[in-house]
């Protein structure tokens, strides 16, 4: 039987574009159940979607159903994927806080299948901290969030908030329903997060790394069939399902763990924000300032292990190693030096001062440079899609 896809349409001006998505899915042989909020029916009629999908469009939580004993439960149990597009600030808020006051929000709560959320709204609304917090909550709950495109919106504002092209949404659906299995039988190790170096029992030195890039790589690799080891420094992110997880604190510990695990790995990706320095001598007790005096604290720092360089020295034949170069100046030049000194197969360079490419951002703007000197500059995209591009490059090297 074909996969069944639930399409939830909410009250945004981009609602009319979803007719093309439904049409493409139907032509590809999928069963499509369309659900529309009351607001969505103000932009496009249920009859249009009924004609394209070939089945009744669901709009009312209380409407009687011949197909399901309890409609919202029956729909939730039948679908293999739920796609909400366009997703307005209203539905995103409901989903993030468990509010179920209409058909679509109720189906979402009863649903156990993967969920793709495609935000589309006014730029100021999208960038409102409340909306961003709600999207982050949904991501933490396991929803796949597609980043909106930037451009001129229907309201005349220019900025992020446009519904992604239907091709992008369609591809995301295909990736979720039919994930690539081109890493089957391979073991991939990736590090992530920030390393922490103790000053005393209370304080430590760290950096702005959050682990988003490394965790995205771990999740994407696992979905593509790899056996994944995630070695993570400090991060507040949820560990992706199905990966072997090692929690570490400082750079020395991370290096030791990765060196121990390296011989069994086919692919190693260094995505962690590893600190370059640590305290020469950690204080045994909490350092205190002198009462009533202005004091100066001088810390002596010494270098930490260059983890990828150490791994590069022990790189075995056929083992693929990938590094990151998070730079603030001379990005490509510095990246090329690291590529060579660490014995990498390719390096992913980015300027962390650019908007949409820095630490904690959900997006990244990177250039991939391989040891032959070939470069590929990628546009701003979600870290999930950057992870997929990195793995595509890995696969291409494996096939040579």
Indicate the DSSP class of residue 377. E
- CB neighbour list of residue 232: distance below 8 Å, 6 or more residues apart: 191, 192, 193, 211, 214, 215, 239, 245, 246, 247, 248, 272
Inter-helix orientation angle 89-97/129-140, to 10°: 50
Place of tokens 């202005």: 294
Q: How buried is residue 93: exposed, middle or buried, by Cβ count under 10 Å (0-12/13-18/19+)?
A: middle
CB 58 within 8 A of CB 37: no
End-to-end CA distance of the chain: 37
Which of 155, 196, 255, 265 is the catalytic position?
155
Tell me whether residue 143 is one of the annotated catalytic residues: no
Enter the tokens of residue 218: 């771990």
Q: For residue 315, is it left (φ>0), alpha (ψ between -120 and 50) or beta?
A: beta
Report how far residue 390's alpha carbon sits from residue 189's, in angstroms, rounded to the nearest whole number: 14
Q: Which residues are catalytic?
A: 155
């Amino acid at each position: 039987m074909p996969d069944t896809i639930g399409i939830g349409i909410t009250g945004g001006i981009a609602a009319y574009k979803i007719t093309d998505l439904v049409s493409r899915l139907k032509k590809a042989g999928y069963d499509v159940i369309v659900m529309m909020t009351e607001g969505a029916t103000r932009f496009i009629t249920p009859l249009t979607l009924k004609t394209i999908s070939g089945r009744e469009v669901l709009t009312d939580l209380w409407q009687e159903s011949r197909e399901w004993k309890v409609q919202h439960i029956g729909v939730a149990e039948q679908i293999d994927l739920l796609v909400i597009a366009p997703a307005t600030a209203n539905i995103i808020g409901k989903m993030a806080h468990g509010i179920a006051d209409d058909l679509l929000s109720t189906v979402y709560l009863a649903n156990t299948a993967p969920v793709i959320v495609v935000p589309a709204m006014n730029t100021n609304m999208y960038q409102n901290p409340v909306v961003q917090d709600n999207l982050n909550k949904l991501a933490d709950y396991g929803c796949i969030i597609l980043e909106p495109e930037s451009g001129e919106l229907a309201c005349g504002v220019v900025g992020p908030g446009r519904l992604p092209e239907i091709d992008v949404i369609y591809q995301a659906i295909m990736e979720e329903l039919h994930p690539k299995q081109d890493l089957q039988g391979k073991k991939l190790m990736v590090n992530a997060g920030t390393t922490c170096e103790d000053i005393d029992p209370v304080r430590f030195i760290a950096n702005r790394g959050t682990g988003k890039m490394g965790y995205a790589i771990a999740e994407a690799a696992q979905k593509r069939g790899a056996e994944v080891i995630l070695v993570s420094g400090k991060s507040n992110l949820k560990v992706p399902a199905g990966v072997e997880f090692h929690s570490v604190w400082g750079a020395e510990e991370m290096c030791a763990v990765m060196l121990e695990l390296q011989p069994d790995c086919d692919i190693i990706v260094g995505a962690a924000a590893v600190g370059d320095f640590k305290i020469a001598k950690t204080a045994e007790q909490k350092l205190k300032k002198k009462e009533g005096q202005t004091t100066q604290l001088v810390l002596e720092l010494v270098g930490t292990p260059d983890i990828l360089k150490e791994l590069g020295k022990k790189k075995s034949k056929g083992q693929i190693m990938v590094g990151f170069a998070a730079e603030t100046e001379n990005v490509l030049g510095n990246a090329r030096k690291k590529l060579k000194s660490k014995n990498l197969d390719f390096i992913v360079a980015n300027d962390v001062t650019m908007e949409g490419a820095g630490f904690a951002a959900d997006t990244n703007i990177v250039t991939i440079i391989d040891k032959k000197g070939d470069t590929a500059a990628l546009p701003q995209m979600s870290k999930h899609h950057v992870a997929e591009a990195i793995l595509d490059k890995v696969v291409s090297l494996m096939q040579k």
